[in-house]
Amino acid sequence: MIDLHTHSIFSDGVLIPSELAQRACAAGYKTIAITDHADHSNFDFILPRLAKVCGQISGNGNILVLPGIELTHVAPRDIAALACESRRLGAKIIVVHGETLVEPVPAGTNKAALEADIDILAHPGLLTEEEAKLAAARGIYLEITTRRGHSLTNGHVAKLARQFKAALVLNDDAHAPADFVGREMAVKIALGAGLAKKEIDDMFVNSQNLIQRAIA
């Protein structure tokens, strides 16, 4: 199992990175990305620390941990530049906090994110057809999430991704140990979103491909 969208105490998670990784490992996860919430105020604080500690944790050989960032509630016009700076500071996985139904994310965030150098558009809410086409064209992964609230539009995202051939990944958006739901429950949530078994298998392959791209 893989989760490329997790949070530590560097944002609103409850665990330091090493314990987050250990809890994920104990739950059967082979790879995680730590993608703490960030804007201009803290991205340059978070990333050098994550890059250092993720390398140390991965070096122990039990779990691969990638340093990342989730650009959150950033003005759409600033997303591309901040993503570029995050990549320069060592982010291997760049997530943008999409237009979820349960938070007042600035309108235009999805489109701006999909035009930037990012890897995953998280919980994109009522994704438009134009945005789904853009994700497919630019090779940016759309997220199916197990997280309560954000998961309300999983079915809609899955439908548009299928229609326009956009690639999906399945993440927990883990903030605490109980958020690592494991493969069996993640598959059930994906089935509940209307995805077929082959499409679910493809999501796991997509995550592996994203990891390979990140570490290349």
CATH at residue 13: 3.20.20.140
Region 127-153: mean pLDDT is 98
| pLDDT tier for residue 58 given thresholds of 50, 70 and 90 | very high
pLDDT one-digit tens code per residue, 141-160: 999 999 999 999 999 999 99
Q: Which domain holds residue 187?
A: 2-215
Which residues have a Cβ under 8 Å from the Cβ of 169 and sit 6 or more positions away? 4, 120, 141, 142, 143, 144, 203, 206, 207, 210
Give the other-Cβ count within 10 Å of 65's Cβ: 28
pLDDT at residue number 142 = 98
pLDDT at residue number 141 = 98
Say how many domains are in the chain.
1
Region 104-132: mean pLDDT is 98
pLDDT at residue number 19 = 98
Collapsed DSSP state (helix, strand, coil) of residue 172: coil
Sheet-wide strand order for 168-171:
2-6, 31-38, 64-71, 93-97, 120-122, 141-145, 168-171
pLDDT at residue number 109 = 98
* 3-class SS letters over 105-122: CCCCHHHHHHCCCCCEEE
CA–CA distances in Å: residue 106 to residues 3, 12, 53, 187: 25, 20, 32, 31
pLDDT at residue number 64 = 98
pLDDT at residue number 107 = 98
Region 62-91: mean pLDDT is 98
Q: Average pLDDT, whole number, for the chain? A: 98
| pLDDT tier for residue 114 given thresholds of 50, 70 and 90 | very high
Pairing mode, strands 120-122 and 93-97: parallel
Place of tokens 């060592």: 90
- For the chain, count helices (H), then strands (E): 8, 7
pLDDT one-digit tens code per residue, 31-57: 999 999 999 999 999 999 999 999 999
| pLDDT tier for residue 7 given thresholds of 50, 70 and 90 | very high
